[in-house]
A and B are shown apart, each in its own frame.
Chain A
Amino acid sequence: MANHDDASEKQDETRTGTTEPRKKASFALPVIKGLANTLAHVLRREPNTIHYPEEKRTPYPGYRGEHRLKRDELGREKCTACFLCATACPAFCIEIVAEEAPWDDREKRPRIFNIDMMRCIYCGMCEEACPCDAIELTPIYNIPSRTRGEKIYDKEKLLSL
């Protein structure tokens, strides 16, 4: 009689490439092994989780959290409004409006620089694309807010981070 077990054996055969039928082991030994394993965990009690708001995990180096815009030695924003980051961004969440820069060493600077953090996928492409090293992802990760509007960061906010 072709029953369920035969079918699963056939499958195992093709999967493992051997003609030896799978051994019909009883559940008893694995059950005891499993129980011993979990009991060891109960007795050891080394939780892998943390008490979150009180304890915080330090992000690994290179962690991609919220963005910030950098300033140069004179305290001016480094960004030259070249739009490379906005072009590179796969989520289209960077909005830049340029204006003429009042300084001699560059032509433009951003008048508006908005990043929609709700759309951002924290891929870091903007950071890689920037020729002036002006944008950077910080390791800040605890970033809740009450409204969507709050999550659209403008230039001031990005520069202050």
Chain B
Amino acid sequence: MTTADTIFWPVIPALKAVVILVVILHIVPGLVYFERRISAWIQDRIGPNRVGPVGLLQPLADVIKLAFKEDLTPQGADKWIYRMAPFLVYAPAVIAFSVIPVGIDLQVASFGVGVIFLLTISSFSVYGLAFGGWASNNKYSLLGGLRASAQMISYEVAMGLSIIAILMTAQTVDLNEIVRQQWGATTLGLVQWNLFQQPIAAVVFLVAAFAETNRLPFDLPECEAELVGGFHTEYSGLKFATFFMGEYIAMITMSGLMVTMFLGGWSVPWIEIPTSPTFGDVALSVFIFTVKLTVLLFFYIWVRWTLPRFRYDQLMNIGWKVFIPFSLLNLGLTATSGVMGWNWLIPLPW
């Protein structure tokens, strides 16, 4: 390491952090616009198309509207916790994204425990929901917060178990390594994505990710029909906007994780990863990641505008009685095939 390196070592990661943060923050309005247009098409409507060319400035109008709303704090609210809650939802989602590789070895923080760090941090967001519900001094908010925590507990287990199966076959928790194992072709000619190698884990993870990000059909914490707006009933203006941003960023982070874990991340299918990547390779890998991410985000929106909300007991049933047994079974299968060397069942990298 030269002296210049020792002085400037924090500069590159800081730069990456800023760039990725800015990019994510700018994806959110785009995603909101995307969601509003797609929902309109699903419902045979036209959708927002007045503000700016084909309505592209609609999110800006939304933000301006939210910014000018009165910022209310309900009487009897616990002021500090009430103010903190939106950020407790927003910050973990952003921080968790920092370990997701968006291109060849391109992530803000690359340390060995990638997946585990991401899961730990993204689980923190439930504190935001629970605190927000508790601090607003409103029974509906409180119920929303409680539901968020109960839902998180039920789904986090299944999610963790499905991830363990992946980690067992990958034999690493480094997300870049996991991606590197997914570019090749299987004996059937399919690309070696974990989606095809571990389909049970993929489905369980996908559904658990919906529950984790509180998106429909699992948005029981903010169920309008019973709870007004759930945990954010009392929030207005920019505090509400922060909750909203947090939800969308969590969606991006979860999709990013899913792309990395199950859809081959930034690797190009069937094309070997270059050992010393040029700038072009990195750009291509970022492009590939973005395409996969977009497809998954579209899937999120598509599901949201198709399925009705689950009933609470159905949600719990699916979590505890279907997903946890299934992911345990999957874990057992993976372990057995690993020990016995049953490559026909689950093709292992060794």
Interface stretch, picked from A45-53, A89-97, A128-136, is: A45-53
Question: Which of B42, B306, B313 has the most C-beta atoms of chain A within 10 angstroms of its own C-beta?
Answer: B306
Q: Please indicate the chain A residues that have their CB under 8 angstroms from the CB of B307 in the complex.
A: 31, 34
CB under 8 Å from chain A, chain B span 303-318: 303, 305-307, 313, 318
A35-B44 contact given A4-B313, A42-B38, CB 8 Å threshold: no
Cβ proximity bits B33-51 to A, threshold 8 Å, 1 near / 0 not: 0000010111111100000
Distance between Cα atoms of A6 and B313 in the complex (Å): 13
B46 CB contact (under 8 Å) in A4, A37, A49:
A49
- B42, B46, B318: the one contacting A42 at CB < 8 Å is B42
Docked Cα-Cα span, A37 to B42, in Å, equals 9
- The complex places the Cα of A48 from the Cα of B42 at a distance, in Å, of 11
- CB-defined contacts of A38 to chain B, threshold 8 Å: 42, 302, 305-306
> Is B45 a contact of A47 with CB atoms below 8 Å?
yes
Tell me whether B302 and A49 are in contact (CB under 8 A): no
In this complex, the interface size class of chain B, counting residues with CB under 8 Å from chain A, is: 10 to 19
A123 within 8 A of B: no
Find residues 6-42 in chain A having any chain B CB closer than 8 Å to their own CB: 27, 31, 34-35, 37-39, 41-42
CA distance A129 to B43 in the complex (A): 42
- Cβ-closest chain A residue relative to B308: A34
CB-contacts of A46-79 with B (<8 A): 46-51
Q: In the docked arrangement, what's the CA distance between A42 and B318, Å?
A: 29
Decide if A35 touches B46 in the complex (CB within 8 Å). Answer: no
Asked if residues A41 and B45 are in contact (CB atoms below 8 Å), the reply is: no
In the complex, are the beta carbons of A46 and B44 less than 8 A apart?
Answer: yes
Residues 101 to 157 of chain A near chain B (Cβ within 8 Å): none
Contact B41 A41 (CB under 8 A): yes
Within 8 A of A (CB), among B296-331: 302-303, 305-307, 313, 318
> With A and B bound together, what is the CA distance between A79 and B234 in angstroms?
57
Partner of A35, one of B38, B45, B302, B318: B302
For B305, the chain A residues whose CB sits under 8 A away are 38
CA A34 to CA B216, docked complex, whole Å:
14
Rounded to whole Å, the gap between the CB of A11 and the closest CB of chain B is 15
Name the distance in Å between A49's Cβ and chain B's nearest Cβ: 5
- Give Cα A85 to B302, complex, Å: 54
- Which chain A residue has the least Cβ–Cβ distance from B41? A42
- Whether B44 contacts A34 by the Cβ 8 Å rule is no
A46 CA / B40 CA spacing, docked (Å):
11
On chain A, the residues within 8 Å of B43 by CB distance are: 41
The CA of A42 and the CA of B307, in the complex, are separated in Å by: 15
Give, as a whole number of angstroms, the nearest-CB distance from B295 to chain A: 13
Contacting residues, chain B, for A48 (C-beta < 8 A): 44-45
A41 contacts B302, C-beta separation under 8 Å: no
- For the complex, give the distance between the alpha carbons of A34 and B302 in Å: 10
Of listed A4, A34, A42, A49, residue having the most chain B CB within 10 A: A42
In the complex, A66 Cα to B303 Cα: how many Å?
Answer: 44
In the complex, what's the smallest C-beta–C-beta distance from B312 to chain A, in angstroms?
10
Asked whether B42 lies within 8 Å of A41 as measured between CB atoms, the reply is yes
Residues of chain A contacted by B41 (CB below 8 angstroms):
41-42, 45, 47
Distance in Å from the Cβ of A36 to the closest Cβ of chain B?
9
Task: List the B residue with the shortest CB-CB distance to A51.
Answer: B46
How far in angstroms is the closest Cβ of chain A from B311? 9
**Distance (Å) between the CB of B337 and the closest chain A CB?**
25
Q: Which of A's residues lie within 8 Å of B, judged by CB?
A: 4, 27, 31, 34-35, 37-39, 41-42, 45-51
Can you report 21 residue pairs joining A to B where beta carbons are below 8 Å apart?
A4-B313, A31-B306, A35-B302, A35-B303, A38-B42, A38-B305, A38-B306, A41-B41, A41-B44, A42-B38, A42-B42, A42-B302, A45-B41, A46-B44, A47-B40, A47-B41, A47-B44, A47-B45, A47-B46, A48-B44, A51-B46
- 7 closest Cβ pairs, A-B complex: A38-B306, A48-B44, A42-B41, A38-B42, A34-B306, A47-B46, A49-B45
Known pairs A34-B307, A41-B43 / 8 extra A-B pairs, C-beta < 8 Å: A4-B313, A34-B306, A35-B302, A38-B305, A47-B45, A48-B45, A49-B46, A50-B46
